[in-house]
């Protein structure tokens, strides 16, 4: 053969039999078949055979299976991010004319999709009070196709009574999905508490280093696997095997990171709760967090993200000055990485509540807790008069 042909279709020259501790990063769009009769275009690579890179290379499939095992799922799909996971659930379960329920405290872009894209496609998404519990039954209609939950809620941290919501939904045959990102799939056992679908932004704790975007959708049973898989295939939710490889590495240190982050975060939140300018600390392990009793009943621990609400006498401009004065904490979106972050949320839409630009969300990272505490101390002195 010509050298050009050999360049394109090489023999493997390296010795076989390499054994390492890591999952290889398999890149590939085309998957080879042994004969024309074997050719398939099917997302069910788990039970049948590999068909196309779009549905995951072995690297993505390994990540999906490991996250699924951690969550106790029947099956897990990997998708390009947490928001893609939310999209997949909506598109799998809702059609024109459907009604869905989403808590006020849900991740912002979930609500944004509800009031824009989904509305345009004829799906009505109704917001509800995250603390509603069993009373959710009264909001369920004959066309309700999906109930979202998220616990704790984004930014305002309400803990939901998931078992009560799932019981009411199951009685009326409505599937319940949870955005389980906070719990990293481990601090809250979503399937044991009754949910049908659990999504995570692996971008947060499983990635763990602010350098990748990935998500997962885990399902309880074969029926939901079929329904979600069919839509997964059509949406073309491809993931990068390189990102999956980083997430697999992140999984190896998830346990030790969560343990350390919980401890540091509790220490800093506890100290903040004693500061005179604080109205409340919204951290699930504190009685000041709405739904704290449910957290004690249902969770096995807490994570690194929480919010603080300054007293109403403190002008919003001073809260902003406090955030700007932080030096170790950085200003930025997302959380779950090794770096401590702070962000003011000026436009939170929570009926009956006005946070007036006085709510700051903090993410505690892996810096020494003493440095984080002295950073907050100096920023409070600088910003709050």
Ligand X SMILES: *Cc1c(COP(=O)(O)O)cnc(C)c1O
The DSSP output letter for 160 is P
Shortest Å distance, C-beta 31 to ligand X? 27
CB of 312 to ligand X, least distance (A): 27
Q: Please, what is the minimum distance in Å from the beta carbon of residue 342 to ligand X?
A: 15
Sorted by sequence, the CB contacts under 8 Å of residue 360 that are 6+ apart come out as 307, 308, 310, 319, 322, 323, 342, 343, 344, 345
- The residue (of 123 and 217) whose beta carbon lies closer to ligand X is 217
Q: Which is nearer to ligand X, 145 or 217 (CB)?
A: 217
Strand partners, 368: none
Q: How far is CA 51 from CA 24, 30, 80, 237, 242, in A?
A: 19, 8, 19, 15, 19
C-beta of 237: minimal distance to ligand X in Å? Answer: 12
Contact predicate 123/98, CB 8 Å:
yes
Least Cβ distance, residue 247 to ligand X (angstroms)? 11
Cβ closest to ligand X, residue 68 vs residue 81:
81
Q: Name the residue nearer to ligand X (CB basis): 201 or 308.
A: 201
Count of Cβ atoms closer than 10 Å to residue 50 Cβ = 18
Instruction: Give the residue ranges of DSSP H helices in 114-221.
Output: 119-120, 162-171
Helices (H), 135-221: 162-171
β-sheet bridge partners, residue 359: 309
Nearest residue (CB) to ligand X, 154 versus 198:
154
Ramachandran area for residue 198 (φ above 0: left; ψ -120 to 50: alpha; else beta): beta
Q: How far is the CB of 191 from ligand X (least distance, A)?
A: 18
Q: Which residues bind ligand X (CB under 6 A)?
A: 81-83, 107, 150, 154, 179, 181, 201, 203-204, 213, 215, 334
Q: Which residue, 89 or 165, is less far from ligand X as judged by CB?
A: 89
Instruction: Provide the angle, in degrees to the nearest 10, between the axes of the packed helices 82-93 and 222-235.
Output: 110
Q: Could you tell me the smallest distance in angstroms from the CB atom of residue 335 to ligand X?
A: 7
Residue with Cβ nearer ligand X (303 or 379):
303
CA-to-CA distance for 193 and 211, rounded, in angstroms? 32
Quick check: 306 and 265 in contact, CB under 8 A? yes
Look at residue 172 and give its three-state secondary structure.
Answer: coil
Long-range Cβ contacts of 121-125 (<8 Å, 24+ apart): 121/96, 122/95, 122/96, 122/97, 122/98, 123/90, 123/94, 123/95, 123/96, 123/97, 123/98, 123/99, 124/98, 124/99, 124/100, 125/99, 125/100, 125/101
Considering beta carbons, is residue 88 or 384 the nearer one to ligand X?
A: 88
Pick between residue 83 and residue 304 the one whose CB is nearest to ligand X: 83
Nearest residue to ligand X on Cβ basis: 82
């Amino acid at each position: 053969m010509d050298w050009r042909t050999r360049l394109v279709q090489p023999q493997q020259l390296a010795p076989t039999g390499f054994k390492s501790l890591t999952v290889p990063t398999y890149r590939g769009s085309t998957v080879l078949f042994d004969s024309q009769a074997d050719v398939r275009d099917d997302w069910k690579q788990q039970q049948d055979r590999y068909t196309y890179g779009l549905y995951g290379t072995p690297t993505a499939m390994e990540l999906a299976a490991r996250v699924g095992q951690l969550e106790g799922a029947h099956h897990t799909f990997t998708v390009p991010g947490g928001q893609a996971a939310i999209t997949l659930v909506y598109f799998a379960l809702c059609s024109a004319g459907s009604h869905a329920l989403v808590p006020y405290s849900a991740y912002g872009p979930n609500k944004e999709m509800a009031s824009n894209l989904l509305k345009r496609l004829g799906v009505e998404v109704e917001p509800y009070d995250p603390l509603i519990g069993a009373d959710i039954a009264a909001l369920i209609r004959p066309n309700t196709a999906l109930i979202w939950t998220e616990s704790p809620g984004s930014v305002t941290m309400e803990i939901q009574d998931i078992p009560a919501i799932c019981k009411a939904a199951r009685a009326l045959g409505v599937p319940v999905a949870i955005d389980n990102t906070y719990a990293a799939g481990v601090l809250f056992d979503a399937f044991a508490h009754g949910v049908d679908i659990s999504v995570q932004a692996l971008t947060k704790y499983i990635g763990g280093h602010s350098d990748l975007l990935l998500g997962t959708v885990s399902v309880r049973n074969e029926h939901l696997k079929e329904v979600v898989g069919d839509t997964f295939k059509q949406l073309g939710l491809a993931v990068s095997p390189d990102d999956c490889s980083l997430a697999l590495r992140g999984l190896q240190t998830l346990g030790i990171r969560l343990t350390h982050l919980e401890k540091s975060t509790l220490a800093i939140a506890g100290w903040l709760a004693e500061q005179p300018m604080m109205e409340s600390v919204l951290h699930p392990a504190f009685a000041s967090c709405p739904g704290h009793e449910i957290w004690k009943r249902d969770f096995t621990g807490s994570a690194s993200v929480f919010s603080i609400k300054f007293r109403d006498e403190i002008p919003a401009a001073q809260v902003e000055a406090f955030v700007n004065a932080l030096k170790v904490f950085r200003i930025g979106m997302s959380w779950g990485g090794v770096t401590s972050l702070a962000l003011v949320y000026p436009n939170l839409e929570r009926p009956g509540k006005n946070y007036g630009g006085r709510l700051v969300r903090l993410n505690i990272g892996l810096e020494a807790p003493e440095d984080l505490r002295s950073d907050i101390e100096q920023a409070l002195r600088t910003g709050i008069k």
